[in-house]
Amino acid sequence: GCLLLWITGCQRNVIDQQQVTKDERIVIKFSHVVAENSPKGLAAERFASLVRRRTGGYVEVQVYPNSELYKDGEEFDALKNGAIEMIAPATSKLSAMIPEWQLFDLPYAFNNLENIPHFVNGPVGQMLLARLEEHSMLGLAVWHNGFKQMTNSSHPLQRPEDYRGLEFRIMPFSNTLKYQFEVLGAVAYPLAFSDVHAALETGGVDGEENTISNIFTQRFDQVQKYLTISDHGYLGYIVIVNKEFWEGLPEGIRKILEEALAEVTLWEREKAAEVNAQQLAALEREGEIKIHYLNAEEQKALEEALAPVYEMLAEDIGTELVDLMRNS
C-alpha cells in the first residue's frame, strides 16, 4: 500500500497492490518494428518488466514488436494522436519531420559507438531532441543497434564500383541514405521495415543495408546471397514518448519510469554489442549467406567513394552542422 501511495502521491487512504484494477492502471503502449530478440526488442521487454516490478503493476508497459500494431510511417501519427505512448524509431526515420536528424546517417561519421551518447548529450544532440517537442514528442534516451552492413544477391560487394546499377532498400525517408547509394551509382528505394523481407525475396530490390541483428532476426540471410561487413553507418534509436502524456504522469511515477529507462539504456548498449556479435557468429555457422569482411583498403575506398554525401547533406541542412560530423 505504502509504495503505491508514495509513487502516485495519491490522496486516497490505502491502495493495496492487489487492488490495482484495470481502470486504475496506467497503460503505456510501446510499439516497435523489430523482432523480440533484437537489441531494441529485448530492451523494450526489460523496461516493461522493471516498470511492472517497481510500480507493483500500477504501470503496465505493453510492448508490441514486429510492426504488429503500427509500421514505419504510421507510428509517429499513432504516437501524436495518443493511440500509443512510446516508440523507439531509428534516427533516420525522424528526418522526415526534422531533416537535421540525418546527421546520424552520414557514412563513417562515428568511429565507435561510445561517441554517440556524448554526441547526443552535446549541443547538437540536445538541439535535435528539443526539436522533437515541436511535434508533441519527447526524446528520452538513445538506444544503439550498431553499425550497418550491406547485403545483396547478385555478386559480392567489395569495391565501390560493385554497387553500380543495383537497387537497394533504404529506411524511409532519409535523403542522406538515398545519396549514399546514388554516389555509388545505385538506386535507393525507401520501404517500411516490415516490407523488406518480401522485397528481397521477390527481387523487388537487389539489396539493403542493416545491422547484423536485423539481418539475422528478419532472416534476410535466407533471401540474400552476400553480406559485406562494411560498418559504414550507424543504426540507433531514440526512445520517444507522447509529450503531453508524459508530462501528465504523477511526478513519482515519472521518476520511477525515468530511472528504469536510464538503467535499461545502459544495459541495452552492452546487450546490442553482444547480440550483434552472437548473431554474426550464428550467420557464420549457418553459412546461408556468404560473408565478406572489407579489409582496411577496401573500407577506405568505400569511405572515399561515400565522402560526397557530406556535401549533398550540407546543401540541404547547411555546412555548419555537417562539418561537425566529419570527426566525431
Which residues here bind ligand LMR, judged by CB under 6 A? 33-34, 90, 145, 171, 193, 210, 214, 235
Q: Which three cell numbers stand for residue 315?
A: 546543401
State how far the Cα of 157 lies from the Cα of 229, in Å rounded to an integer. 9
* Minimum CB–partner distance for residue 202 and ligand LMR (Å): 18
* Minimum CB–partner distance for residue 92 and ligand LMR (Å): 7
Residue with the three cell numbers 510501446: 30
90 forms bridges with which residues in the sheet? 237
State how far the Cα of 132 lies from the Cα of 241, in Å rounded to an integer. 10
Of 108 and 220, nearer to ligand LMR (C-beta) is 220
3-state DSSP assignment of residue 326: coil
Of 226 and 237, nearer to ligand LMR (C-beta) is 237
3-state DSSP assignment of residue 263: helix
C-alpha closest to that of 266 among 151, 114, 146, 135: 114
* Minimum CB–partner distance for residue 227 and ligand LMR (Å): 15
Q: Which is it for the CA torsion 26, 27, 32, 35, positive or negative?
A: positive
Of 41 and 125, nearer to ligand LMR (C-beta) is 41
CA distances from 16 to 5, 24, 50, 324 (A): 9, 12, 19, 53
* Minimum CB–partner distance for residue 218 and ligand LMR (Å): 9
* Minimum CB–partner distance for residue 111 and ligand LMR (Å): 21
Task: Count H helices and E strands in the chain, helices first.
Answer: 14, 11
Of 26 and 212, nearer to ligand LMR (C-beta) is 212
Of 275 and 294, nearer to ligand LMR (C-beta) is 275
State how far the Cα of 299 lies from the Cα of 9, in Å rounded to an integer. 56
* Minimum CB–partner distance for residue 158 and ligand LMR (Å): 23
Of 108 and 193, nearer to ligand LMR (C-beta) is 193
Of 26 and 171, nearer to ligand LMR (C-beta) is 171
C-alpha closest to that of 57 among 100, 104, 8: 8
* Minimum CB–partner distance for residue 137 and ligand LMR (Å): 16
